[in-house]
């Protein structure tokens, strides 16, 4: 086959364009820090990178969910702690009220403080995080109590026992709420019984008998109130267990985030040492091609006649 000057020139230009493309690719890799600037550069790397990014997005969403869970559980624990402190004060007042040395005025003062504690406990039952009521089960947009004196919100008592769950990992959800209908319902019942006795003018002995007060070796026992207090401790223990689980999940997600980020970096990040070496090598090849090409282009009819 006859090789013409035109064919040689076209081939040389094609090779030079290829060389330019390679140098441009290496330059882009150095500038961007990534081995690809568009999916067509390397579809396999692009697809793997998309998978890693999806994993990171999910991981970050789960971490946000866990931060929300922590807020709920911490607030619940603090609220239950306040309930426990209030119940201790209620017990002190009941023991005091059961003493027959109290005057009518003394019992009126005790009743007034009981009413304040009852209101305080209802405020705790309506604790909110943002716009969400934490003791209202799945009805987080409604308070457990609509007012200071009425019964619990019927919309909650009929369906508020269901857990309020959030996703914390692939296929794993966690209940972050603690239903308050049972706990605060029992507290309400006990507080109402006490205030009714105080308002009726009952004697200390009658109050003690009605509430089952037992004083043994300096220890005061009030079965109904003690049971409520124990229930509060049980709920706090459950919250504490979930707090520990959240901490473990946070550690797991943090480790996963580090590993996926490393894999993403290995998949896409530029190996600067290798790329610079390749760039220098390609520049040398390019310069050699230009030198040879210049001789080909410079040839004229006179050169062939010689």
Q: What integer is the mean pLDDT of 229-248?
A: 96
DSSP character at residue 174: E
Q: According to the model, what pLDDT value does residue 302 have? A: 47
What pTM was computed for the model?
Answer: 0.77
Give residues with Cβ within 8 angstroms of 139, minimum separation 6. 133, 153, 155, 156, 159, 160
Q: Output the furthest CA–CA distance in the chain (Å, rounded).
A: 137
* Runs of H (alpha helix) within 164-271: 181-199, 204-211, 223-268
Distance between CA atoms of residues 129 and 176, nearest Å = 12
Distance between CA atoms of residues 96 and 102, nearest Å = 8
- The mean predicted confidence, pLDDT, of the chain is 83
- Which of 90-94, 228-232, 244-248, 300-304 is the least confident region? 300-304
Q: According to the model, what pLDDT value does residue 272 have? A: 64
Range from 74-88, 125-139, 210-224, 274-288 that averages highest in pLDDT: 74-88
Tally: H helices and E strands in the chain: 9, 6
Distance between CA atoms of residues 180 and 186, nearest Å = 10
Containing 78, the helix (H) or strand (E) segment is: helix 43-97
pLDDT at 187 over 90: yes
Distance of CA 270 to the CA centre of its chain: 33
Structure tokens at 140: 């987080």
pLDDT at 158 over 80: no
Containing 166, the helix (H) or strand (E) segment is: strand 165-169
Top-confidence residue, 225 or 275: 225
Distance between CA atoms of residues 27 and 24, nearest Å = 5
Top-confidence residue, 206 or 31: 206
Confidence band of 234 (pLDDT split at 50, 70, 90): very high
> How would you classify the pairing of strands 214-216 and 219-221?
antiparallel
Distance between CA atoms of residues 81 and 78, nearest Å = 5
pLDDT at 301 over 60: no
Confidence band of 63 (pLDDT split at 50, 70, 90): very high
The pLDDT tens digits for 75-125 are 999 999 999 999 999 999 999 988 888 888 888 899 999 999 999 999 999
Q: Which residue has the tokens 């290829």?
A: 18
The pLDDT tens digits for 255-281 are 999 999 888 878 776 666 676 776 677
């Amino acid at each position: 086959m006859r090789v013409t000057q035109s064919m040689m020139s076209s081939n040389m230009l094609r090779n030079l364009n290829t060389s330019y493309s390679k140098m441009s690719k290496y330059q882009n890799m150095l500038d961007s820090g990534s081995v690809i600037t568009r999916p067509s550069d390397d579809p396999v790397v692009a697809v793997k990178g998309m998978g890693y990014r999806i994993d990171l997005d999910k991981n970050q969403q789960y971490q946000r969910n866990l931060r929300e869970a922590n807020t709920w559980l911490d607030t619940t624990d603090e609220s239950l702690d306040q309930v426990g402190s209030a119940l201790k004060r209620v017990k002190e007042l009941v023991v005091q009220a059961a003493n027959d040395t109290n005057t009518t005025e003394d019992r009126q003062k005790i009743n007034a403080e009981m009413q304040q504690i009852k209101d305080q406990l209802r405020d705790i039952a309506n604790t909110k995080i943002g716009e969400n009521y934490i003791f209202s089960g799945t009805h987080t947009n409604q308070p457990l109590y609509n007012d200071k004196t009425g019964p619990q919100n019927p919309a909650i008592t009929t369906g508020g026992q269901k857990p309020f769950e959030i996703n914390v990992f692939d296929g794993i959800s966690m209940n972050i709420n603690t239903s308050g209908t049972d706990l605060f319902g029992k507290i309400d019942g006990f507080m109402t019984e006490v205030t009714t006795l105080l308002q009726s003018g009952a004697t200390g002995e009658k109050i003690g008998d009605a509430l089952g007060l037992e004083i043994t070796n300096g220890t005061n026992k009030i079965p109904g109130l003690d049971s409520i207090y124990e229930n509060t401790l049980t709920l706090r223990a459950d919250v504490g267990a979930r707090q520990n689980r959240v901490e473990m999940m946070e550690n797991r997600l943090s480790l996963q985030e580090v590993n996926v980020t490393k894999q993403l970096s290995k998949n896409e990040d530029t190996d600067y040492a290798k790329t610079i070496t390749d760039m220098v090598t390609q520049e040398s090849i390019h310069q050699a091609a230009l030198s040879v090409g210049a001789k080909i282009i410079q040839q004229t009819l006179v050169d062939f006649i010689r």
